[in-house]
């Protein structure tokens, strides 16, 4: 299960809408406890892909900086997020091919005509030659009754 605060969840949705029609992307810091990931910090990143409307790529320098920050906080990189402009929040074949962080969450937010509509999370399992995504339940902590989750 992925546990994320309402404010971190809202930041991901805001980034997805702000970046539309390009894909946004970012890194999730936090803790892994008994197989559950708890997000403590959401780090928006630059999408440096040549075709940002349909793909994303995070600068290696941003990943290294996030890793150092996580270590200084006694945490880990526990996941990544990106958006799918005008597409469902399900992972693509390219998302799976380009995923390398095993046992991390991959959060995808669908943005339809500029509005974040649905978010799903997947965990990368297996090994490099036999990897797969498993759907992961998300719990939004401190969820406001006025702002239900986008799902």
Question: Catalytic residue among 15, 23, 128, 139, which?
Answer: 23
Assess whether pLDDT exceeds 80 at residue 150: no
DSSP lists the bridge partners of residue 44 as 26
Q: How far apart are CA 98 and CA 57, in angstroms?
A: 9
**Per-residue confidence band for 142, with pLDDT thresholds at 50, 70 and 90:** confident
The pLDDT, as a whole number, for residue 44 is 98
Q: How far apart are CA 86 and CA 35, in angstroms?
A: 32
The structure's pTM equals 0.92
* Percentage of the chain exceeding pLDDT 70: 94
Mean pLDDT, residues 129-135 taken together: 96
How does 7-36 read in b/e, with b if 16+ C-beta sit within 10 Å? ebbbbbbebbbebbebbbbbbbbbbeeeee
DSSP lists the bridge partners of residue 28 as 42, 79
- The DSSP annotation for 5-26 comes to EHHHHHHHHHHHHHHTTSPPEE
The pLDDT, as a whole number, for residue 147 is 47
pLDDT tens, residue by residue, 91-125: 999 999 999 999 999 999 999 999 999 999 999 99
How many C-beta atoms lie closer than 10 Å to residue 75's C-beta? 17
Structural contact between residues 109 and 81, judged by C-beta atoms closer than 8 angstroms: yes
Structural contact between residues 136 and 43, judged by C-beta atoms closer than 8 angstroms: no
Q: What are phi and psi of 137, to 5 degrees?
A: -70, 145
Q: Reply yes or no on whether 137 is catalytic.
A: no
């Amino acid at each position: 299960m992925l546990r994320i605060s309402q404010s971190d969840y809202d930041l991901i949705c805001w980034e997805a809408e702000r970046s539309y029609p390009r894909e946004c992307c970012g890194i999730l810091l936090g803790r892994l406890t008994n197989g559950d990931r708890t997000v403590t910090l959401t780090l928006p990143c630059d999408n440096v892909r040549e075709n940002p409307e349909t793909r994303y790529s995070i600068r290696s320098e941003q990943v290294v900086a996030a890793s150092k920050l996580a270590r200084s906080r006694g945490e880990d990189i526990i996941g990544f997020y990106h958006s799918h402009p005008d597409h469902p929040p399900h992972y693509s074949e390219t998302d799976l091919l380009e995923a390398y962080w095993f046992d991390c969450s991959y959060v995808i937010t669908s943005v339809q005509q500029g509005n974040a509509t649905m978010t799903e999370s997947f965990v990368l399992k297996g090994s490099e030659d036999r990897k797969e995504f498993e759907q992961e339940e998300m719990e939004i902590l401190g969820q406001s009754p006025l702002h239900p989750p986008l799902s």
